[in-house]
């Protein structure tokens, strides 16, 4: 069975773009019979706040979206699904990733990388907390084009941070590979992340994850044309309003007649063959 998930980050209040991604994820999962889970990515302890975790559950309730696997409350998340509960799993996964020939340890500071290129790839630097980070050498994959992304043209991503915690790419793949094959519904801005995670999964021979289906949907922008994001201080969802306008916006983005509730949106969605396009790991 396919596994889909809502994967918000509790580093700010959710905005309209987050809500639409939740709706699209729910629609695809319900149409194709995928289980839905909730994975709250609390990897950054300095930015993640309790009020943002609570807000995630309020937002899903406000949107009338259901999911099938815990956590179903903020307290359940803290008790069983927070970063601390998964830390050992990530550390074990790190051992496999670190052993790859395509990964290397980098001791460069951000300032050094701004002024010159990294020269750490062939130095066999040890991975030491607060001194070095683990990266993926994308130049080793010059012929890999995934999700319309030429991997060799990207900057080498950090997989394990100097602070001694997993970076998003490693943590996301670790979590999703346990549930694979997945139905991953993401914004177009995450195509590069999808490519990096798929590349890493292929290198690790994570066959179930490589059979996952990826859906990349268009983003919505603010009045200035910038994508809605927490870093750009996008307005948070207003729970005093009805979410009906989001169902209408979602239906328009999907090329459907305006739908004013989830049931009619799902019914209309089920009658149409495909939306946005999809890719699996085997597609270029």
Query: What are the helix and strand counts (H, E) for the chain?
Result: 10, 10
Nearest in space to 173 (alpha carbons), one of 197, 203, 146, 147: 197
pLDDT band (50, 70, 90) for residue 23: very high
The string of pLDDT tens digits covering residues 161-200 is 999 999 999 999 999 999 999 999 999 999 999 999 999 9
Query: What is the DSSP pairing of strand 103-106 with strand 213-217?
Result: unpaired
Q: List b or e across 255-275, with b for residues whose CB sees 16 or more CB atoms inside 10 angstroms.
A: ebeebeebeebeebbeeeeeb
Q: How much is the pLDDT for 77?
A: 98
pLDDT at 284 over 50: no
The string of pLDDT tens digits covering residues 194-204 is 999 999 999 99
Cβ atoms of residues 149 and 192 within 8 Å: yes
Q: Which residues pair with 185 in a beta bridge?
A: 215
Domain locations along the chain: 3-98+174-280
Chain centroid offset of residue 22 CA: 12
- The mean of the pLDDT values for the chain is 93
The string of pLDDT tens digits covering residues 31-83 is 999 999 999 999 988 889 999 999 999 999 999 999 999 999 999 999 999 99
pLDDT at 281 over 70: no
Cβ atoms of residues 178 and 184 within 8 Å: no
* 195-217 mean pLDDT: 97
Q: How far apart are CA 75 and CA 53, in angstroms?
A: 10
Sign of CA dihedral 283, 180, 25, 54: negative
What's the CATH superfamily of 3-98+174-280? HUPs (3.40.50.620)
Cβ atoms of residues 6 and 182 within 8 Å: no
Q: How much is the pLDDT for 175?
A: 97
């Amino acid at each position: 069975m396919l596994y889909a998930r809502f994967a918000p980050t509790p580093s700010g209040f959710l905005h309209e773009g987050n809500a639409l991604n939740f709706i699209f994820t729910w629609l695809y999962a319900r149409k194709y019979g995928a289980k839905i889970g909730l994975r709250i990515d609390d990897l950054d302890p300095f930015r993640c706040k309790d009020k943002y975790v609570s807000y995630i559950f309020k937002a899903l309730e406000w949107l009338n979206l259901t999911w099938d696997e815990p956590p179903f409350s903020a307290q359940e998340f803290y008790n069983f699904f927070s970063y601390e509960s998964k830390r050992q799993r990530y550390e074990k996964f790190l051992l496999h990733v670190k052993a790859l020939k395509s990964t290397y340890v980098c001791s460069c500071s951000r300032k050094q990388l701004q002024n010159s290129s990294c020269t750490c790839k062939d130095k066999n630097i040890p991975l030491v907390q607060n001194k070095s980070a683990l990266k993926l050498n994308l130049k080793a994959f010059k012929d890999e084009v995934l999700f319309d992304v030429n991997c060799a043209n990207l900057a080498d991503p950090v997989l394990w941070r100097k602070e001694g915690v997993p970076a998003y790419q490693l943590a996301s793949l670790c979590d999703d590979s346990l549930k694979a094959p997945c139905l991953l519904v993401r914004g177009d801005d995450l195509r590069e992340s999808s490519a990096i995670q798929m590349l890493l999964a292929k290198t690790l021979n994570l066959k179930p994850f490589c059979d996952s289906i990826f859906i990349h949907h268009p983003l919505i922008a603010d009045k200035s044309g910038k994508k809605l994001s927490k870093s750009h201080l996008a307005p948070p969802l207003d729970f005093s309003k009805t979410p009906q306008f989001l169902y209408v916006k979602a239906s328009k983005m999907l090329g459907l007649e305006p739908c004013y509730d989830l049931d009619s949106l799902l019914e209309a969605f089920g009658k149409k063959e495909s939306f946005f396009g999809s890719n699996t790991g085997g597609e270029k």
